[in-house]
Copies of this chain bind each other. A is one copy, B any other.
Amino acid sequence: VTSKDVAARAGVSQSAVSLVLSGKGAGRVAPAKAAAIRTAAQELGYRPNVAARTLRTGATDTVGLVVPDVRNPFFGALLRGAQHAARAAGRAVLLVDAQHDAADATAPADVLRASGAVDGLLWFGRLPPDHVREDRIPLVLVEAELEGVTSVRFGVEDGFRAIGEHLRDLGHRRVGALRAKVPQEPTFEVRAAGLEAGLGFAPQLEAVAPVITLEAGLVAARELLDRPDRPTAIVADDDNLAAAVVLVARELGIAVPGELSVAGCDDLDVVRVLDVTTVRLEAEELGRVALEALTALLDGEDPPARQVLPAVPVLRGSTGPAPGPR
């Protein structure tokens, strides 16, 4: 059922239908005809064809959303926020799971490169490949920053500095960092710098998880804990990794926080139930703000070039005074 059908049924021209249904008929089409058109459309169950409209107008009313790993609950919340804001702006969301853990991590971007598939892009975490920028498609970077690109991120340096100070004040002098080594995700560099600033020294030990999952965390945590000179505190780049530290400590019979303090980042349920100190990031809010920035860009407005959302420490029972010398 096309606008032609509606025109035929209402006894008017096709252009009148288009005018009325797109809301631009005010003062140009007689009210009586407009009403006839509307009822005809209703009766026929008419819905404008998206492809035709897109071809004509050049706008898809769809935004692309590239996230590193949809399995991480952090991104679930973020999707919720973005999705919600998108709907409010009358746009749909095309999801791309970049699968940064997989071999074909660059491929997904191509899904969106098909010209005209999306009006704009929300790009999370990793820095986008050059060709994305070269496409000159409106772009908002999330949890990353790049010269000349609108971005939104958390002020993780503040959160990690606070955690660092907290541990320093508790007397910890030997600290391990459980880092998420996802290539090209600048937020993790920022976290490391913040932690070091707060501690007043660099963590002596470091283990790296190639993927941000509980499993990967278990492996890396063992590296840090299953050794004679283990640290008295471990700060993880992410809550999934922090939870893994707690599990490994339990497995090795290391008391938390008696013998080991643990902190993470995100404030996911998984550390909430374990009573683990963390840095709270309002992922849903981030998704909302980022999508609103993109919407502004698409509407030809001028959103703030760089927005930084708060990252506040949440002190819980997993951090305590450093143990005396063994």
**Measured between C-beta atoms, what is the minimum distance from A93 to chain B in Å?**
5
- Taken together as a complex, chains A and B put the C-alpha atoms of A73 and B284 apart, in Å, by 14
Any chain B CB within 8 A of the CB of A133? Answer: no
What are the residues of chain B within 8 A of A54 when measuring CB–CB? 50-51, 54
- Taken together as a complex, chains A and B put the C-alpha atoms of A227 and B45 apart, in Å, by 54
- Taken together as a complex, chains A and B put the C-alpha atoms of A69 and B84 apart, in Å, by 12
Any chain B CB within 8 A of the CB of A21? Answer: no
Partner pick for A117 among B92, B243, B274, CB 8 A cutoff: B92
Check if B70 sits within 8 Å of A80, measured CB to CB: yes
Any chain B CB within 8 A of the CB of A4? Answer: no
What are the residues of chain B within 8 A of A24 when measuring CB–CB? none
Check if B84 sits within 8 Å of A272, measured CB to CB: no
**Measured between C-beta atoms, what is the minimum distance from A321 to chain B in Å?**
23
- Taken together as a complex, chains A and B put the C-alpha atoms of A94 and B111 apart, in Å, by 12
What are the residues of chain B within 8 A of A111 when measuring CB–CB? 87, 92
Any chain B CB within 8 A of the CB of A270? Answer: yes
What are the residues of chain B within 8 A of A77 when measuring CB–CB? 71
Q: A94-B93, A107-B87 are in contact. Are A116 and B214 (CB under 8 A)?
A: no
Any chain B CB within 8 A of the CB of A60? Answer: yes
Partner pick for A80 among B71, B79, B112, B272, CB 8 A cutoff: B71
**Measured between C-beta atoms, what is the minimum distance from A177 to chain B in Å?**
21
Residues of A81-97 at the interface with B, using a CB-CB cut-off of 8 Å, are 83-84, 87, 92-97
Any chain B CB within 8 A of the CB of A55? Answer: yes
Q: A51-B51, A71-B77, A214-B272 are in contact. Are A99 and B84 (CB under 8 A)?
A: yes
Any chain B CB within 8 A of the CB of A76? Answer: yes
* 0/1 interface trace, chain A 23-50, chain B, CB 8 Å (1 if under): 0000000000000000000000001111
Check if A71 sits within 8 Å of B60, measured CB to CB: no
What are the residues of chain B within 8 A of A73 when measuring CB–CB? 71, 73, 76
Pairs across A and B, CB under 8 Å, 18 listed: A47-B114, A47-B115, A49-B55, A50-B54, A50-B114, A50-B115, A70-B83, A71-B79, A71-B80, A80-B99, A84-B99, A92-B112, A92-B117, A94-B94, A95-B95, A214-B272, A247-B273, A270-B270
